[in-house]
Amino acid sequence: MLKDKLKNYNLILASSSPRRQAFFKELDLDFEIRLKPIKEEYPNRLRHFEISDYLAQLKSLPFKEELVVNDILITSDTIVWHNNQALGKPKDEADAFHILKALSNSTHEVITSVCFTSKNSQKTVNAVTKVTFKVLSDEEINFYIKKNQPFDKAGAYGIQEWIGQVGVTKIEGSYFNVMGLPIHLVYETLNEIAYL
């Protein structure tokens, strides 16, 4: 399938996320992991998917000089968009509680952008999923934070974890996007690249 089409390419996943790495394994793709630190900062004027697009592209910059022909570098970023602002990863327990309290009894958007960079070109795609939470009690929020320590997750939660199982009442769009990678878009885009 896709693996055969991409046999002349070298896929590089620039992500330390175990979830994103697992997704690539499940797509049955050969890939290597390369990591470089980057400050995830963006201009204040950016809104909605502009933020995740910008950050996904920003993450590709440290690799630009070392890419060779047939390399495809994949970088991505996920944000939670709620009440016209981006919610990133919580700084500590108090911040995680504050974020989850804000998401309680409301609908927010999870936006993931994926950037595909080769030596001579770059393409960025994104997906938006609407997620609705029931009213979350303080007790439930505190239990989840203690149990799952969601400090590496945008919006302070993982939909596949306890809080998602008991708290999410509605989802519109890709479930895997909320987990951190819109697999259908990655598959589609890599198929397109393979035919170029």
Task: Tell whether the torsion through CA atoms of 177, 52, 98 and 102 is positive or negative.
Answer: negative
Listed in order, strand segments (DSSP E) in the chain are: 10-13, 31-33, 71-82, 85-87, 107-117, 122-133, 168-172
Q: Please say if 152 is a catalytic residue.
A: no
Residue from 30, 77, 95, 152 carrying the catalytic annotation: 77
* Three-class SS state of 31: strand
Give the largest Cα separation in the chain, rounded: 53
CB atoms within 10 A of CB 67: 17
- What contacts 152, CB < 8 A, 6 or more positions away? 17, 89
Residues identified as active-site:
77
